[in-house]
Structure 1
């Protein structure tokens, strides 16, 4: 019996379809399967095509910044004395024969390396215990002169702050040099103190600066700190400054250049940038009409995206990007990727047919080889 070419073609198509439906290897669900998970088809996820309105509604980025208590704190005086500081006190007496502090004939007396104690006091011979913390060197000079004046006429006093060990902050994390640093005239603000510590040892694009003060914490992006003078807060003794690296990441799967968990490289990351980071679409596998972003969306954002007001709690959302549309690349450029997102690219429909044909031709070749080996051909 002779079989026509049309019948053979039809049989081949049937065989390819049967093989394709037998669970050939693939990178994940296809477009039809993802759309089948839509709420409209009794699934549990909302499938939304990305347009300019959706891109704008979902452009939610981490809110970092300092509270008003941080922002309103003024710079401490560079000469304000604090407990733990070291001082130098010089006294010049207007007597020659019998000075109060020095030896005979010695009008100048110097008291160096005076440590301000934990309660903020220093001790000066014949003047007694004097409170130094909270005063400026000029104010302390006046107080010492007042205390000595009844015992030595019109003493001339000089007070210098040698080291500000009592007004310090700690810097740790990914700083150039971790340690304890004194708040001094050049280092009274956050950016200047970070510079004093050698900057940061990580990419500035992903560096976050965390400051803890009196149990309260604020965080800013390092680049925002450099660009916005208002964020360059004044430091206070005891501040803890930690340089952290951004821990946000997304997962790339499917027909992309690489399948992996990928850390963010910038503060804001668009879908087109996320694809570029993983090597773009796999040109031999990817379907550019099937780029999906899967995430659990907060109810307030989901309600705006869907034009509703009744959703409560996080909602499963599947955002669809079609890069073949006239504005598809623009939508992908404007759609912001967030921490924990899954970026999935489906395979082109022909890929499964190609795999099925490969499986059939491979099976036929193996059968022919076996027949030849057994002599049954």
Structure 2
């Protein structure tokens, strides 16, 4: 009777093990290397699987260019004395007569403070009437007022100055010390000076991007490039909008790595070997160093260059394969650039699945042995 029970226990254990293995119920982190290769276009799949070499690395070394269009860089700096709608002017008039139009000579002149330039660019001066100020320099407006008053009072002396106003302002938002609207004045007529006026940058400089919007023109640059390329320190114009933000690019790491997560870019460029290092490298117990895959939707022109074809239409699903065990493998991984939204996947070594199968078989058998002992 006991022998029959032992045989029954062993039979049940073997059935369980066989069911687990046959049903592919073994745990794993993702597809195997062979499964990925089986999905290649070359095998009637929907993705191009390409082994990375020096030629592929060069063809895919594309980094989206950042910069300002000529419409932003060609503008000259605003003159500090050019008047614009919304500016505030200060005006003082001296008359060479005892009883002047505005004040007597002994009064030391008549001061007209805070004359607002209206939306049409005009100002009103008593006895001179409405005068166009916008677009003129303070000297030009002074001459116009003098000519208007000379017909009514002898030898008038006019002094005009442009005070701080809101006729030419820019708005700054994002990662600056103090967000707000700032007037363009002599000390801050360029991009770097205006950023300093707003309290400087509060984000890590390596991943900070600056976007300038002016009418229909829009451009984005790296903060570091702003200081290394003087031509990017553009002159500002009234109505400019400046956005300072952190780089939003990322890649995703999956499979037999130290961590499986979404990883933001912390530098302007990241290589495949750096991407692996950022997630703790390969998992030494289960990773297959010959099966490192980068999944990417590649633009048509780059995909055509990589595959040497001219019949592709639109973006292509590409799977790049890295082999760290090849003589040049580490150098290639060091040079291969990771791009925004890439998925870096590391497969498990073949023996790992064998070990899991072995454990699935031996586990029930050990259970059966324990049952035998109980029966005895």
Q: Confirm or deny a common fold (TM above 0.5).
A: yes
Give the superposition deviation at 1:134: 1.0
Matched, 1:85 2:87: yes
Distance 1:360 1:175 in 2: 62
SS of the aligned residue for 1:105 comes to helix
Give the superposition deviation at 1:104: 6.4
SS of the aligned residue for 2:236 comes to coil
The alignment of Structure 1 onto Structure 2 pairs a total of residues equal to: 360
Task: Name the counterpart of 2:293.
Answer: 292
TM-score by length of 2: 0.90
Task: Name the counterpart of 2:126.
Answer: 125
Please list the CA deviations of residues 11-50 of structure 1 after superposition, one character each: whole Å capped at 9, or x if unmatched.
x9xx99x949833101011111111112222222211111
SS of the aligned residue for 2:106 comes to coil
Distance 1:59 1:253 in 2: 23
Gaps of 5+ in 1: 1-11
Gaps of 5+ in 2: 1-13
Task: Name the counterpart of 2:312.
Answer: 311
Task: Name the counterpart of 2:25.
Answer: 23
Q: Identify which range, 195-204 or 257-266, moves more after superposition.
A: 195-204
| Contact 1:20–1:356 (CA under 8 A) maintained in structure 2 | no
Task: Name the counterpart of 2:274.
Answer: 273
| Contact 1:36–1:43 (CA under 8 A) maintained in structure 2 | yes
Please list the CA deviations of residues 235-267 of structure 1 after superposition, one character each: whole Å capped at 9, or x if unmatched.
111111112322221111001111112222122
Task: Name the counterpart of 1:42.
Answer: 44
Distance 1:219 1:357 in 2: 56
Task: Name the counterpart of 1:99.
Answer: 100
Report the aligned-residue RMSD.
2.1
| Contact 2:50–2:318 (CA under 8 A) maintained in structure 1 | yes
| Contact 1:291–1:345 (CA under 8 A) maintained in structure 2 | yes
| Contact 1:99–1:107 (CA under 8 A) maintained in structure 2 | no
| Contact 1:293–1:342 (CA under 8 A) maintained in structure 2 | yes
Give the superposition deviation at 1:345: 0.4
Give the superposition deviation at 1:322: 0.8
Task: Name the counterpart of 1:206.
Answer: 207
| Contact 1:209–1:244 (CA under 8 A) maintained in structure 2 | yes
| Contact 1:206–1:267 (CA under 8 A) maintained in structure 2 | yes
SS of the aligned residue for 1:309 comes to coil
